[in-house]
């Protein structure tokens, strides 16, 4: 059979090519894709040519082996239906809806260990958010918010929205989220985030900090999450975090340079900058946490939050170039973009 596959072929260039796909071999399943979520952070680095050359695309996902160079096949949020099975595979898999960390393709082959059956009660649209939800859970595990703390989230893309929504469930002293785009701020406010601000509005930011100090916040935030992908936001997060505070850096800046002023207050602040990325768990959590446990927590939070309402655009894979132009040129119109392959 033939499938359609998306490739980043050059700077701001994507192509959808037809490829031959053999039938499933022993131990393999053939999956027809129903939905595939677009990562507005990572994939835009590829689209804009801002990826670091010479490092592997992903060392933990079998379908994403290889290095960063054009042409590049990418994507990690595919939801589909099993339509065929190779020798040695239980036929009960046929017709089952599954999730896979797999590039944007109309059909793909996968081993049993690469597919995750959708739990009862999770729709295909909600399942598209699984990778970002698992990442958000990982950020919370690394940040370890405490009751009564004052926390901030910088960046309200999908993973920022999910992280803010998780934090809103904690008995914090206060929670503030920052994003330049109005639609994202509105979505966070509807999710119960206490204050949602434009980070470039200095007056509102100063007023919010004064209000938080009146509520008991000492010299700055206890905990901040930098999830915007904008290097300048890290400087702001450090500036607004207090003595002995924690800044969880979940952004991947790719090849974008990051310039920080660490010669002033930071030097004496005993602040911790924490690198967080979902491919691993913090070693100190290894005694009780596994990736399987974290994934289970992510599924439960998808059932709880139902983030499918944040899908703002759906495109057939044939219109992929249009989808990426939209994300590149008019991000204020988007939250989550999805490639829809049909029911």
Radius of gyration of the chain (CA): 21
- Nearest of 157, 82, 80, 75 to residue 334 by alpha carbon: 157
Domain presence at residue 319: yes
Number of domains in the chain: 2
Query: Domain range spanning residue 329?
Result: 2-118+309-340
Domain presence at residue 302: no
Looking at residue 72, what DSSP letter applies?
B
108/166 same-domain check: no
pLDDT tens digits along 292-302: 999 999 999 99
CATH number for the domain spanning 105: value is 3.90.180.10
Nearest-angstrom CA–CA distance, 62 and 110 = 9
pLDDT on residue 65: 53
261/319 same-domain check: no
pLDDT tens digits along 255-293: 788 888 888 888 889 999 999 999 999 999 999 999 999
Domain presence at residue 18: yes
pLDDT tens for each residue of the chain, 343 residues long: 899 999 999 999 999 999 999 999 999 999 999 999 999 988 999 999 887 766 555 555 565 555 678 899 999 999 999 999 999 999 999 999 999 999 999 999 999 999 999 999 899 999 999 999 999 999 999 999 999 999 999 999 999 999 999 999 999 999 999 999 999 999 999 999 989 999 999 999 999 999 999 999 999 999 999 999 888 899 999 999 999 999 999 998 887 888 888 888 888 899 999 999 999 999 999 999 999 999 999 999 999 999 999 999 999 999 999 999 999 999 999 999 999 998 7
Domain presence at residue 140: yes
Domain presence at residue 291: no
250/322 same-domain check: no
Cβ atoms 250, 277 nearer than 8 A: yes
Local structure of 325: helix, strand or coil: helix
Whether this model's pTM surpasses 0.95? no
Cβ atoms 176, 201 nearer than 8 A: no
CATH number for the domain spanning 157: value is 3.40.50.720
């Amino acid at each position: 059979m033939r499938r359609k596959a998306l490739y980043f072929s050059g700077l701001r260039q994507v192509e959808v090519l037809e490829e031959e796909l053999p039938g499933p071999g022993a131990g393999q399943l053939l999956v027809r894709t129903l939905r595939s979520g677009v990562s507005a952070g990572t994939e835009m680095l590829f689209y804009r040519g801002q990826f670091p050359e010479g490092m592997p695309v992903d060392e933990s996902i079998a379908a994403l082996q290889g290095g960063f160079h054009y042409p590049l096949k990418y994507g990690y949020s595919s939801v589909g239906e099993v339509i065929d099975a190779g020798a040695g595979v239980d036929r009960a898999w046929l017709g089952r809806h599954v999730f896979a960390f797999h590039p944007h393709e109309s059909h793909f082959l996968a081993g049993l260990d690469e597919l995750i059956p959708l739990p009862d009660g999770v729709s295909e649209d909600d399942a598209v958010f699984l990778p970002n939800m698992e990442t958000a859970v990982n950020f919370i595990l690394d940040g370890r918010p405490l009751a009564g703390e004052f926390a901030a989230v910088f960046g309200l893309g999908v993973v920022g929205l999910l992280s803010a929504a998780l934090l809103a469930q904690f008995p914090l002293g206060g929670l503030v989220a920052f994003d330049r785009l109005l639609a994202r701020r509105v979505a966070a406010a509807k999710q119960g985030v206490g204050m949602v601000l434009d980070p470039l509005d200095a007056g509102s930011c100063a007023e919010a900090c004064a209000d938080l100090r009146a509520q008991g916040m000492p010299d700055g935030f206890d905990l901040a999450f930098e999830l915007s992908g904008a290097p300048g936001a890290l400087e702001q997060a450090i500036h607004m975090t207090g003595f002995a505070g924690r800044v969880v850096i979940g952004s991947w800046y790719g090849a974008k340079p990051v310039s920080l002023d660490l010669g002033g207050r930071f030097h004496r602040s005993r602040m911790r900058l924490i690198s967080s990325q979902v491919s691993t768990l913090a070693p100190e959590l290894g005694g009780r946490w596994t990736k399987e446990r974290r994934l289970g927590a992510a599924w439960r939070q998808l059932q709880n939050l139902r983030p499918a309402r944040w899908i703002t655009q759906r495109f057939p894979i044939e219109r992929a170039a249009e989808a990426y132009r939209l994300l590149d040129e008019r991000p204020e119109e988007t939250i989550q973009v999805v490639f829809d392959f049909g029911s």
